Each structure stands twice: as C-alpha cells, then as structure tokens.
Amino acid sequence: MSTADAIRALTAGNLIHLPTETVYGLGARADDPAAVIKVFEAKGRPRFNPLIVHVGTLEQAEAIGAFDDRARVLAKAFWPGPLTLVVPAKDTNAACDLARAGLDSVALRMPAHPQALEVLKGVAFGVVAPSANRSGRPSPTTAADAADETGAFVDVTLDGGACPVGVESTVVSLLGDARYLRAGAVTRAQVEAVIGPLAADEAEGHRSPGRLSLHYAPDAPVRINVENPSPGSAYLAFGPVTYDGPVVQLSGARDVNEAAARLFSALRAADKLYPPVIEVAPIPQDGIGEAINDRLKRAAGFVG
C-alpha cells in the first residue's frame, strides 16, 4: 500500500495505519466526526480521552490552534519531531469536538517520519492518529504489530519500518503556564532550554485528560525495577544479565534510546511466552528514560 492509497482512504473518511517516528498511529481525518468516531470504536478508547491532531505544515497547525510565541519557538525547535503542543483551539471544525473530547484546547504535532509527512502534506485536513493499539495495550512500533491490534478496522496499513523513537510523543501544555504533561523523547530539560522553566507538576490525572492508570499493558502482569528476576518470569533486561530463564534484552549496551525503541516490541515478545509475570530491570531516568519509566509504571498499574 502506498501513501497515495493512504491519502485516498483518509479523504474518504476511512482509517489507516500511519507510521511515525514515535509509534504507529491509527489515522482519521480530524474534521470529520464520522471518521473520528471510528478511531474510538476501533481502539475501544473512552470518549473523554482527546486525540492529537497531526499536521504537515506549521501554517496548518496555526490555522487549527492559537499559537503564542512559546508555541512558535517550540515548533521551530522540535518540529517535525516527537513533541505535541496543547494550545487553545481556533478552528473547532478542523479539529472536531469528538477529536478534542469537547475541550476548548487542541493538541497538535508534526511528526518527523517521511511517509507520515508525505501523507499529511498530501491532504487538506489534520489527521488524528492515536497509537494503533486497542486501548490499554502496548503501542505498536511495527506495521505487523499495528495490523495485529487494529488491522480489521483500517483500509490501509502503511509500512514505514520499525519506529525509531518507540515511545509516544512528549506532550507540553501551553494553556497558561507551560507544563510537561507526558514524557517522551523531547525531555523536560530540552523544553526548558527553549522556553524557560516549566510549571511544577500537578497531581497526576489533573495534568492530562484521559491518561489512564493501567495502560501500555501486555496480558501478563508486569513488575518493574527488578534486579534479580524470580524463577519462571520473562525478564526484560537492560545490560548484561545472568538469569537463565527467558530474557528479552532492551539494550545490552545500556543505551536508553535503544531501550525506548525496543520497549513495546519487547513487552509483546515477552507476552508471547505466556509467562506468569514479566519483570523489568531498573531503567535510569536520564533522557528518554523518564518516558520509559512512565510507560512501565502504567504497564504495571502503578499510576492512578
């Protein structure tokens, strides 16, 4: 399937699998509630959880959302790339109510993947594209995993290879004081280097609508920060390991970027062994490590 097929399907109001540098998205045109509703249905996603609208140009982003100087300078610094900006909604038809979950704000991102950009530049509308997994499950980072999760609902699966980043975009809110809502490859420190200090975190749950506690979860229960795996468990290692049970290596060289790129496929691979439990090595908080630990805590059901 080609980007032209994807453009045709989107234009007709149908769903596609869109490869991005973060994870595979389940794409639909953001201006068509009948298309957007298919995304919620395919994912089994609660309607109060707003979607990110993906765009191919900054002009398009500025037509959908109200950009201030902070939004512009962040977009210049990190777009195309794994940063989502939450700004006041400007064109509430371009990002329909269902896409925004009724909020008067909108989340916007320009992804860096060449095929995603080709599709987004080839259409006259924004594209909602939440991760292509069923709600609550690990995000797909290959076309095959996307097809396993929600293949029955899409017209076109674009194969863009394995996602190089591997965890979902950083989300920064620019409604009032700037806040870091979701950790991703663009770190808090990188955002602060561009727009100055971010506001302190609020209680989880108030920070970002729709961020559910149990999320990114495989079928097996997940235990995190495990140095010495228990007998029988499937172990997600980070560096050299002596355990003689099943091991899926996140990064033998202890590289957090490599671990992020492998995280969700490692959880899926471990799950396919039907272990009683999946145990995960401690991952350092540096760089994208904060995003890995955020996803792992949710996979383990620890955030609520």
> Residue numbers of the site for Mg ion (CB under 5 A)?
131
Q: Does 179 bind ligand AMP (CB under 6 A)?
A: no
Handedness of CA 8, 90, 51, 96 (dihedral sign): negative
How do 179-182 and 170-173 pair as beta strands? antiparallel
Rounded to the nearest whole angstrom, what is the least distance from the CB of residue 252 to ligand AMP in the complex? Answer: 29
* 182, 232 contact by CB (below 8 A): no
Q: Does 51 bind ligand AMP (CB under 6 A)?
A: yes
Closer CB to ligand AMP, 181 or 226, in the complex:
181
Rounded to the nearest whole angstrom, what is the least distance from the CB of residue 224 to ligand AMP in the complex? Answer: 21
| Other Cβ atoms within 10 Å of 112 Cβ, number | 18
Partner that binds at residue 107, options Mg ion, ligand AMP, none, CB closer than 5 to 8 Å by kind: ligand AMP
Which of these, 135, 166, 133, lies nearest to 149 by C-alpha position? Answer: 133
Looking at the DSSP bridge assignments, the partners of residue 25 are: 18, 131
Q: Which helix (H) or strand (E) holds 280?
A: strand 278-280
Partner that binds at residue 249, options ligand AMP, Mg ion, none, CB closer than 5 to 8 Å by kind: none
Q: Does 291 bind ligand AMP (CB under 6 A)?
A: no
Q: Does 131 bind ligand AMP (CB under 6 A)?
A: yes
Q: Does 49 bind ligand AMP (CB under 6 A)?
A: yes
Where does residue 231 rank: exposed (0-12), middle (13-18), buried (19+ CB within 10 A)?
A: exposed
Report the residue from 164, 209, 239, 246 that binds ligand AMP according to the rule CB under 6 A: 209
What is the chain's alpha carbon radius of gyration, rounded to the nearest angstrom?
19
Rounded to the nearest whole angstrom, what is the least distance from the CB of residue 48 to ligand AMP in the complex? Answer: 9
Phi, psi of 72 (to 5 degrees): -65, -45
Sheet of strand 179-182: strand arrangement: 156-157, 16-18, 25-29, 127-128, 52-54, 105-109, 83-88, 170-173, 179-182
Interface map 230-269 toward ligand AMP (x if CB under 6 A): ----------------------------------------
Closer CB to ligand AMP, 130 or 140, in the complex:
130
Q: Which two tokens stand for residue 226?
A: 């495990």
Q: Does 168 bind ligand AMP (CB under 6 A)?
A: yes
Name which of residues 1 to 30 contact ligand AMP (CB under 6 A): none
Total residues in contact with ligand AMP, by rule CB under 6 A: 21
Rounded to the nearest whole angstrom, what is the least distance from the CB of residue 210 to ligand AMP in the complex? Answer: 4
Q: Does 156 bind ligand AMP (CB under 6 A)?
A: no
Q: Does 211 bind ligand AMP (CB under 6 A)?
A: yes
Partner that binds at residue 50, options ligand AMP, Mg ion, none, CB closer than 5 to 8 Å by kind: ligand AMP
Place of tokens 């959302």: 65
* 290, 187 contact by CB (below 8 A): yes
Vertex 136 angle, CA 131 and 139, to 5°: 35
Partner that binds at residue 209, options Mg ion, ligand AMP, none, CB closer than 5 to 8 Å by kind: ligand AMP
Binding site for ligand AMP (CB under 6 A): 49-52, 86, 100, 103, 105-107, 130-131, 168, 171, 173, 181-182, 208-211
